[in-house]
């Protein structure tokens, strides 16, 4: 068997084959419908009532979510629901991704840290809005796959690390914003320390496998912390030795 055939077979096996023009056109239509659904839902929390920032919806409309889901669930890539990505993890519901992104209130020159890369989708959305995204994933297989997904989506300003993100990333701190995509029983102190004054962190706080509270953490100019519980959510639990 020729090398070319072997490589082609591996590409198909891993689900890395390029999508046809017809497929891409269909995905584009589905993505626009997904964004319209999110637009109509609106960010109804005490912090943000009214409408999403337009730049957040534009980012959601640009990122190809189908690239970040396994082949077996790709036909549901643009449904407004979480989907399994393997190893007991999920890609979050698009509405929740939009809401958490909106709550961060990021600017183009910002540097963002993400705890829990997963498939890379949240990082990809943020990459359309900020200068740098640093994302850490504790499961090696997912970290490697996320790097591949992000490369396919053209997200060259995202850096993926493999490790326990509970302790943040000291060498790149401080961060303008931090997003946590797994449920923690408490707000991780190392992340609070690595958040810039004036910065924001959004994370689900609560017990594993129960309803948690989506929580907004704001670090004031004097270093004091203000927290606000926004709405009930359900995330997979944070893993690691804490």
pLDDT per residue as tens digits for the range 153-169: 999 999 999 999 999 99
Q: For residues 180 and 115, is the Cβ–Cβ distance under 8 A?
A: yes
Q: Structural domain of residue 229, as residue ranges?
A: 3-233
By percentage, how much of the chain surpasses pLDDT 70? Answer: 87
223-236: pLDDT as tens digits: 999 999 999 999 99
Give the model confidence (pLDDT) of 35-49 as tens digits: 999 999 877 666 655
Evaluate whether residue 103 is within a structural domain. yes
Strands 83-86 and 89-91: antiparallel
Q: Classify residue 239: in a domain, yes or no.
A: no
How many domains does the chain contain in total? 1
Asked about 51 being catalytic, the answer comes back as no
Indicate the pTM of the whole model.
Answer: 0.88
Both tokens of residue 47?
């912090």
Residue 51: pLDDT band with limits 50, 70, 90: confident
Residues 207-218, mean pLDDT to the nearest whole number:
90
Report yes or no on 179 lying in a domain: yes
Cα distances (Å, whole numbers) of residue 180 to 73, 101, 107, 114, 225: 24, 11, 18, 6, 17
Within-domain flag for 51:
yes
Which residues face 225 on adjacent strands? Answer: 219
| Whole-number Å distance between alpha carbons of 57 and 95 | 10
242 lies in some domain:
no
| Domain assignment of residue 152, yes or no | yes
| CATH (domain of 27) | 3.40.50.150
Of the residues 51, 92, 207, 221, only one is catalytic, namely: 92
pLDDT of 25 higher than 90 = no
> Lowest-confidence range among 7-21, 41-55, 116-130, 148-162?
7-21
Whole-angstrom distance, CA of residue 85 vs CA of residue 81:
13
Q: What is the pLDDT of residue 6?
A: 40
Q: Which two tokens stand for residue 8?
A: 């082609």
The gap from C-alpha 38 to its chain's centroid, in whole angstroms, comes to 16
Query: Is 240 among the domain residues?
Result: no
Residue reference for tokens 């096996």: 13
In a domain, 149, yes or no: yes
**pLDDT tens digits, one per residue of 54-108:** 999 999 999 999 999 999 999 999 999 999 999 989 999 999 999 999 999 999 9
């Amino acid at each position: 068997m020729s090398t070319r055939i072997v490589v082609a077979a591996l590409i198909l096996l891993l689900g890395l084959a390029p999508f046809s023009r017809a497929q891409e056109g269909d995905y584009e239509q589905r993505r626009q419908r997904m964004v319209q659904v999110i637009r109509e839902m609106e960010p109804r929390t005490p912090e943000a009532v009214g409408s999403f920032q337009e730049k957040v919806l534009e980012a959601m409309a640009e990122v190809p979510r189908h690239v970040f889901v396994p082949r077996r669930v790709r036909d549901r890539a643009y449904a407004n629901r979480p989907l399994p990505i393997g190893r007991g993890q999920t890609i979050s519901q698009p509405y929740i991704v939009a809401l958490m992104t909106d709550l961060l209130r990021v600017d183009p020159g910002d540097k963002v840290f993400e705890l829990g890369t997963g498939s890379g989708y949240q990082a990809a959305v943020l990459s359309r809005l900020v200068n740098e995204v640093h994302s850490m994933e504790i499961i090696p297989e997912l970290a490697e796959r996320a790097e591949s997904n992000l490369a396919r989506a053209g997200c060259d300003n995202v850096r993926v690390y493999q490790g326990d993100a509970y302790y943040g990333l000291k060498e790149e701190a401080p961060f303008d914003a931090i997003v946590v995509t797994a449920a923690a029983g408490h707000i991780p102190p190392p992340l609070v320390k690595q958040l810039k004054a004036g910065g924001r962190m959004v994370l689900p706080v609560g017990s594993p496998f129960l309803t948690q509270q989506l929580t907004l953490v704001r670090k004031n100019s004097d270093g004091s912390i203000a927290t606000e519980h926004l709405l009930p959510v359900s995330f997979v639990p944070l893993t690691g030795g804490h």
